[in-house]
């Protein structure tokens, strides 16, 4: 398993903030490990935000996430998004 780069994680944070028009949070304040949904992270996101994030990931990285359960797992945290993108780049057919 390939480890995602810090550059990719920062890119994902910036993508989320651009997609959701979040201007009052610094990307460095978003914890890579903490869930994106819930009060524990710098971002306070909801299910509509999740759909927008998934669409942005698909658009920017050319990755399809057709399974709803998989999508839920992917957008759990910055780390989970980064790992999914890294895995898809290493094995595009999965």
> CA 84, CA 21: separation in Å to the nearest integer?
23
Residues present in the chain in total = 94
Supply the pTM of this predicted model.
Answer: 0.92
Helical segments of the chain, H only:
6-19, 47-61, 68-74, 78-90
Q: What is the largest CA-CA distance in the chain?
A: 38
> CA 56, CA 13: separation in Å to the nearest integer?
12
CB 42 within 8 A of CB 25: yes
CATH for 6-90, among 3.40.30.10, 1.10.1200.10, 3.40.718.10, 3.90.580.10? 1.10.1200.10
pLDDT band at residue 1, thresholds of 50, 70 and 90? confident
Mind listing the pLDDT tens digit for each residue in 33-55? 999 997 777 887 988 999 999 99
Residue with tokens 């998004």: 81
């Amino acid at each position: 398993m390939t480890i995602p780069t810090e550059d990719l994680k920062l890119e994902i944070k910036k993508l989320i903030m651009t997609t959701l028009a979040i201007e009052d949070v610094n990307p460095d304040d978003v914890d890579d490990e903490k869930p994106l949904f819930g009060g524990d992270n710098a971002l306070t996101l909801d299910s509509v935000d999740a759909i927008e994030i998934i669409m942005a990931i698909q658009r920017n990285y050319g990755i399809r996430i057709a399974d709803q359960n998989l999508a839920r797992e992917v957008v759990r945290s910055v780390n989970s998004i980064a790992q999914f993108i890294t895995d898809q780049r290493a094995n595009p057919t999965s």
